[in-house]
Amino acid sequence: MPNRFSDTLFQLIHTLEKSEKRNFKLYIKRSSSKEDLKIIQLFDALDRLNDYDEKLLLKKLPSIEKPQLANLKSHLYKQVLASLRLLKTTDSIDIQLHEQLDYARILYNKGLYIQSLKILEKVKELAHTYYQDSFLLQVISLEKKIETLHITRSMQNRADRLSAEANEVHERRGMITRLSNLALQLYSWYIKNGHARNEKDEAGVKKFFQDNLPDLSKVDTHFYEKLYLYQSYCWYAFIRQDFLMYYRYTQKWVDLFHEKEEMIGVETAHYIKGMHNLLNAHFDLRNHRKFEQTLLQFKKFSESPIANHHDNNRIQTFVYIYHASINQHFMMGTFAEALDQVPYIEEKIQEYAAFIDGHRILVFNYKFASLYFGSGDYKTSIDYLQKIINDNVDLRTDLQCYARLLHLMAHYELGNSDILEHLIKSVYRFMAKMENLTVIEELMFKFLRNSFHISSRKLKPEFEKFLHKIKQFEKSRFETRAFAYLDVISWVESKVYEKPMSEIIQQKYLDSKRKIEG
């Protein structure tokens, strides 16, 4: 069966914009040969296919034999990339610096040492402006090579200066590497496990963080050192559910870009991720006003040329804005309004399927399920939860657990008593195996088990007792996961006060808003 994303060349061609396709044709026709004409035919045929199907492709290209196809595809892939490189020369600092370094090497190989050094001086200035130390190392390396092998008389004391520059950049790169490694490993821990489940998890993360955090007295004011330091603290706090620290460091992360605005265009993906985390921090702390302000700021950015300059920027901005938009509806209890967005989000996810990772799709499915649950459509909620439960993706064990728990609650709401006892045992075993059971979840299982034997007339007092028990843990740090993922308290309150869950949350939102304003 044809697979839309099974072929890398097909995928690349179908990401090209009209201007990029036109540029490729012009580029390839400049040096047309018999082989080049064949790759244009191959390009056009792939462009017209809706799904990659090799048999159909060969049928459309009678001049190409099957044994030739692999080589032609490889050649076409390289030529498309080459045409894009020429077209995107001014798109990023990285490409500009690479190009200038290439020119300097060409001039050096031609024996034009002074001309090469002049270009290297310009590259160095640009690299300093945008904190591109990896390029500085390459520039200094080539400068040292020229000065070692040739007498240029280009500068007095040049040897001492180059040696000092090399040492400074090398030390800074070492610090950046350590901090970026720490940030990456903490983020990886979160993607795998979610939040710390207990004191043992927290102690392990704390020890890892302390063992790998460099001496901060040696951290410079360099952009990337600060960026990866803030990211490290951000993930460290988020894993431990220290949401106040999480907020402080995500704000520092975003402020760093606002202080160095030129870096938004250089490290756009890091800026987008920072805005996403700042919105999450406001959501976790229920900072309604700041959440609104930050979301408006992010939406304004999404309309900017920088956000729309690359597919990656545009897609990531879309993902995080709609993630935040759903969270806003969760805070306000406006589930029905949020559900109106679901078809559009799903359509875009399908459109961007090759570019959105499995973890993000997993999170969206859980959010959709939660929206339908909150609006009282338990059957549709179950449909989305099944997508998570039936998926073998090895991500976010905490989300896997809560999907099963919400699935159980949806069946409880539907009154499917014939399968509830089996589900309770199954979900309990799964969560216990994952060492994911908190006090709140233990109480949830106990309540659901006991509720089988209670008549509907006596159920309300039991909900009241249950509410009293779980309210005691509302401020407990290791229990916040249950409230964040499920909002168990609002669900139980909807039973006690005999109101829709959305109405309960809306009232909390309005009360909180009045408190802030008054």
Pure H helices in 150-198:
158-193
> What are the angstrom distances between the C-alpha of 315 and each of 271, 312, 355?
14, 5, 8
The encoded tokens of residue 222 equal: 């360099």
In terms of Cα–Cα distance, which of 239, 327, 339, 236 is closest to 286? Answer: 327
The encoded tokens of residue 439 equal: 């006090």
CA dihedral 76, 81, 87, 90 (to 10 degrees): -170
* Burial call 142-161: b when 16+ CB within 10 Å, e when fewer: bbbebbeeeeeeeeeebeee
Residues whose CB falls within 8 Å of the CB of residue 167, separated by 6 or more in sequence, listed in order:
none
In terms of Cα–Cα distance, which of 482, 403, 393, 397 is closest to 434? Answer: 397
Written as tens digits, the pLDDT of the chain (518 aa) is 344 556 899 989 988 888 889 988 888 877 666 556 788 889 999 999 988 988 899 998 888 888 889 999 999 999 999 888 887 766 688 888 998 999 999 999 998 988 999 999 999 999 999 999 999 999 999 998 888 887 665 556 777 888 898 999 999 999 999 999 999 999 999 888 888 878 888 999 999 999 999 988 877 778 999 999 999 999 999 999 899 999 999 999 999 999 999 999 999 999 999 999 999 999 999 899 999 999 999 999 999 999 998 888 999 999 999 999 999 999 999 999 999 999 999 999 998 887 888 888 889 999 999 999 999 999 999 999 999 998 766 667 778 888 999 999 999 999 898 898 889 999 888 888 877 677 888 888 888 888 877 777 788 888 999 999 988 887 777 677 667 777 889 999 999 999 999 999 999 888 887 777 65
DSSP symbol at 477: G
Distance of CA 45 to the CA centre of its chain: 34
User: ∠ at Cα 184 (179, 187), nearest 5°?
Assistant: 125
Pure H helices in 194-222:
199-212
Domain range list for the chain:
8-87, 93-155, 351-518
CB atoms within 10 A of CB 308: 12
Distance CA 64, CA 45 (A): 12
Q: What SS3 class is residue 195?
A: coil
In terms of Cα–Cα distance, which of 240, 277, 243, 274 is closest to 257? Answer: 274
pTM attached to this predicted model: 0.85
Pair 516, 288: CB distance under 8 Å = yes
Distance CA 430, CA 437 (A): 10
Straight-line distance from the first to the last Cα atom of the chain, in angstroms, rounded to the nearest whole number = 62
**CATH dotted code for 351-518:** 1.25.40
